[in-house]
Copies of this chain bind each other. A is one copy, B any other.
Amino acid sequence: MKYIIKDLKIKGITLTPQRMAIIEFLKNNLNHPTAEDVYKALEEKYPSMSIATVYSTLELLKANGYIQELSIRKRGKACFDFTSKNHHHFLCLKCDSIIDIESECINTCPIVKAGQLEGCKVGEIQAYLYGVCSGCNKKTIKKSNKK
């Protein structure tokens, strides 16, 4: 899984400094960054980097199966997940944080696998849960106590 660099070379994909930096950042930031997050994190170290490069590199990594793109935010920005393990996501509607959920329930769902979708090829599966995280819940309780 960390052989992505070697892997990309084998595939004949040019490893530019920008691409290396973006991959390195994604490796160390598994908290579902947006394209803008990546751009801002790298702009001091690589002041000339363009947001267009970030988008095109994310697209490249996605197309080659190294990252997943999540559309969990209903209208906001897309975010990215540098991980191979299959998991779900929870979005806190108060603080906008995303929490990983490890679960196989979708992949093993008998109805999805069998009954419906005959003749369909299912590739990617994303499950998004929405609500209020424990941290935000605690804050709400504190506030209501004060009143």
A contacts, CB < 8 Å to B: 69, 71-75, 78, 88, 90, 92-93, 99, 101-106, 108-112, 116-134, 137-138
Q: How far is the CB of A105 from chain B (nearest CB, A)?
A: 3
Tell me what chain A mostly uses at the interface: helix, strand, loop, or mixed. mixed
The CA-CA distance from A121 to B91 in the complex, in Å, is 11
Number of copies: 2
Known: A105-B106, A125-B130. 8 other contacts (CB 8 A): A71-B74, A75-B78, A101-B112, A103-B112, A105-B108, A117-B134, A124-B130, A124-B131
Contact present for A102 and B106 (CB under 8 Å): no
> How many angstroms from the CA of A111 to the CA of B87 in the assembled complex?
11
Determine if B103 and A121 form an interchain contact, defined as CB atoms under 8 angstroms apart.
no
Q: Identify A105's interface contact among B78, B109, B131, B137, CB under 8 A.
A: B109
Enumerate chain B residues within 8 angstroms of A71, measured Cβ to Cβ: 71-75, 128
27 A-B interface contacts by CB (under 8 A): A71-B71, A71-B72, A71-B73, A90-B120, A99-B116, A101-B111, A101-B112, A101-B116, A102-B111, A103-B116, A105-B106, A105-B111, A105-B112, A106-B109, A106-B127, A117-B134, A120-B131, A120-B132, A120-B134, A121-B131, A122-B131, A124-B129, A124-B130, A124-B131, A125-B127, A127-B127, A127-B128
